[in-house]
Amino acid sequence: MSRNDSIRPRPTDNAFLGPLEGGSLEPTYSGALSFMRRRYSRDLSVADVVVWGVPFDCATSNRPGARFGPQALRRASAIFDGDPQFPSGLDPFEALTVIDWGDCSFDYRRLDQVHGLIEAQAAEIIAAGCHLVTLGGDHSITLPLLRAHVAEHGPLALVQFDAHQDTWEDDAEGISHGTFVTRAEMEGLIDCSRSIQIGIRTVAPDDFGIAIVDAYEARGLGVAGIAQRIRERVGDAPAYLSFDIDALDPAFAPGTGTPVAGGLSSAEALMVLWSLRDIDWRGMDIVEVAPAYDHADITAIAGATVVQHYLQILAERTRG
């Protein structure tokens, strides 16, 4: 090896120029940002998993700002670049081809059309046989995402990490981040007998028979107990993961629109998720990251790590 070879700089802009397989090695602080440096692409024929953003927050009931969540999550995910991933110790991109689709396209002036466009674009990705991972956005986006997934997979068990039940009354006409579960139940999208919510610490009018592990109960159960409760509830049903970042205590996730004290720590939530590698996951979203209220990116880092753990779960499943 010549001296010039030994000092050759690392490549940059893996998001546009790098290979589809394997982690990249560009410096964490430079280069174009995609989720975990995955190649931006719209070629679904090469992808096992598609990560995309839905920068919509016009259905919030408190502080806005989750429209900037996809940007923040991509930025925070750069810290994982090029390393064996914890806790698996593996490079998930050796087992999975993951692309960053970019963001959902919609006209912010036509709010009545947004959910339909989310559903249609998600359906295109899912119909191509790709596993869809969504970066939100407020929690209302989970409703069109569920519609798209259910069209392919049938009704799903919902595993929801959240401070809120999101079961407020809904007239089936408007959109709200606090009613997506109500609408999903009304439309038969979720199997409530197999669904469960973790970290709840508010009270809503109805639970539709969905099991609840509230934040205080979760603290008493511990990581193993929470994971066991989820496994018992979901069983072998196909499942969808919706992770509202406000499931975490504001000490671990201040950058969100409706923070509620007394939630899970980031370590507890990640350990529970990692314990659920035997669940038949069909898709997931991370929502309500609002970076304007964040400090030192700690909320975005927590959210990006949720997705990083989920990708490792999919990679382990692919590897058998």
Question: Which residue numbers belong to the known binding site for Mn(2+)?
Answer: 139, 162, 164, 166, 244, 246
A 10 A CB-CB count for 300 gives 25
- Token pair for 140: 């209302």
Query: CB of 107 within 8 A of CB of 113?
Result: yes
| CA-wise closest residue to 49 among 95, 118, 87 | 95
Tokens of residue 201, six digits: 């610490």
Binding site listing? 139, 162, 164, 166, 244, 246
Kindly report the backbone phi and psi dihedral angles of residue 294, in degrees, each rounded to the nearest multiple of 5, phi listed first. Answer: -85, 165
- Whole-Å CA distances, 260 to 18, 103, 155, 271: 41, 29, 30, 21
CA 88 vs. chain centroid, Å, equals: 19
Contact 181, 218 (CB under 8 A): no
- Beta-bridge partner residues of 131: 49
Q: Which residue has the tokens 């509830």?
A: 233
- Whether the Cβ atoms of residue 197 and residue 211 lie closer than 8 Å to each other: yes
Rounded CA gap, 230 and 210, in Å? 11
Interatomic CA distance for residues 246 and 260, integer angstroms: 7
The CA distance from 136 to 71, in Å, is 10
Q: Which two tokens stand for residue 65?
A: 């700002």
H or E element, residue 146: helix 142-153
Tokens of 168: 């407020």
Q: At what angle do helices 215-234 and 266-274 cross, to 10 degrees?
A: 10
H-assigned helices in 154-199: 180-186
Q: Which two tokens stand for residue 290?
A: 């609002």
